[in-house]
Amino acid sequence: MSVARSVILGCGSALPSHVITNDDLSRRIDTSDEWIQQRTGIRERRIAAEGEFTSTFGIAAARVAMAQAGVAPDDIDLVILATSTPDNTFPATAVTLQAELGIRRGAAFDLQAVCSGFVYGLTVADSLLKTGQGTRALVVGSETFSRLLDWEDRTTCVLFGDGAGAVVLEAQRGQGAASDRGVLACRLRSDGRHKEKLFVDGGPSTTGTVGHLRMEGREVFKHAVAMITDVIEDVFAQTGLGADDIDWFVPHQANRRIIDLSAQKLGIAPEKVVVTVDRHGNTSAASIPLALDVAVRDGRIKPGDLVLLEAMGGGFTWGAVLVRW
Residue 252 designated active-site? yes
Q: Which of 157, 186, 255, 282 is catalytic?
A: 282
Complex with ligand UT7: residue 108 or 228, whichever CB lies closer: 228
Q: Which of 11, 115, 157, 186 is catalytic?
A: 115
Closest contact distance (angstroms) between CB of 51 and ligand UT7 is 27
Q: Which of 157, 252, 255, 280 is catalytic?
A: 252
Binding site for ligand UT7 (CB under 6 A): 31, 35-36, 39-40, 115, 154-155, 158, 217-218, 220-221, 224, 254-255, 258, 282, 313
Complex with ligand UT7: residue 65 or 228, whichever CB lies closer: 228
**Interhelix angle for 256-266 vs 217-239, to 10°?**
30
Distance between the two ends of the chain, CA-based, in angstroms?
22
DSSP letters, 215-257, are E-HHHHHHHHHHHHHHHHHHHHHHHT--GGG-SEEEE--S-HH
Q: DSSP H helical segments within 70-133, as ranges?
A: 93-101, 117-130
Closest contact distance (angstroms) between CB of 114 and ligand UT7 is 7
Return the amino acid letter for 189.
R
Residue 157 designated active-site? no
Return the amino acid letter for 210.
V
| Angstrom distance (rounded) from CA 247 to CA 302 | 10
Closest contact distance (angstroms) between CB of 100 and ligand UT7 is 28
Complex with ligand UT7: residue 7 or 254, whichever CB lies closer: 254
What's the DSSP call for residue 191? -
The β-bridge relationship of strands 136-144 and 78-82 is parallel
Residue 250's nearest CA partner among 294, 300, 295, 309 is 309
| Angstrom distance (rounded) from CA 235 to CA 207 | 39
Complex with ligand UT7: residue 109 or 221, whichever CB lies closer: 221
Q: Which residue in the shown chain puts its C-beta closest to ligand UT7?
A: 217
Complex with ligand UT7: residue 39 or 189, whichever CB lies closer: 39
Catalytic residues: 115, 252, 282
